Structure 1
Amino acid sequence: MLDLCGQTGPDVVVEAAGALPAFPEGLDLTGAHGRYSVLGLWGAIGTVPVAPRELTTKNLRVTGATFPKPKHYYRAMNLAARLGPELGLADLVTHRFPIGGAPEALAAVKAGETIKAVIDPSL
């Protein structure tokens, strides 16, 4: 990560996994004076241990967000398309399912068998 972002780490980290263990991991990844935006945990119930000292010593800004506007999805997709090949985003898709395989996809995600499952209508 430091080879991409420099010694201070990323300026912006976005949690979009929706898994509670992702929250402290995102805090660890966010660089000094960085921003951490929590998007995926809107429905997650539970708690995870966090060291408040890390917020202070790294001078982090943590924000939550739900219900983004269509323009935000548009910008995110363009960013992913532009940086995807360089960052290997396609390698994150570990499983593809046909539309009729949605129950199996959800079961695989729940069981932790996937990094990213995709419902692919062409299958």
Structure 2
Amino acid sequence: MKPGEKFQPRKLNTPLDKLTRKQAGRRSLTKTERKHGRYIKARPAGEKKDDIAFDATIRAAAPFQKKRVEKRKRLAFAIESSDLQRKVRVKRVANLVLFLVDASWSMAVAERMNATKGAILSLLTDAYQRRDR
């Protein structure tokens, strides 16, 4: 590989991609606590009642409407705090790119070092375009 040629890196799927992150970027999909990102599913709200999934909340409360007739009085629909569902969102985040180069005598062969330089330049270009760190 020569400098300037495009190097295609392998995609890494790690258990860390299932973590919730706050950063922004364009590389990996991950769950986010922010109110940005695509709404993929709903979970019981618990203590966090700030990003309510109205559709899922109504579905959670619907089976109990006959039992809540007294509580509703003039309301068309009764929702209790146990019915509240919050949104689970997913968005793209940046990856940390770390280069470790073996520049010892065994790698000193010109072809290997040129290939290494080409791969690193291509990966740096890709990381810059995707706003990685």
* TM-score for both structures, normalised by structure 2: 0.22
* TM-score for both structures, normalised by structure 1: 0.24
- Which of the pair has more CA radius of gyration? 2
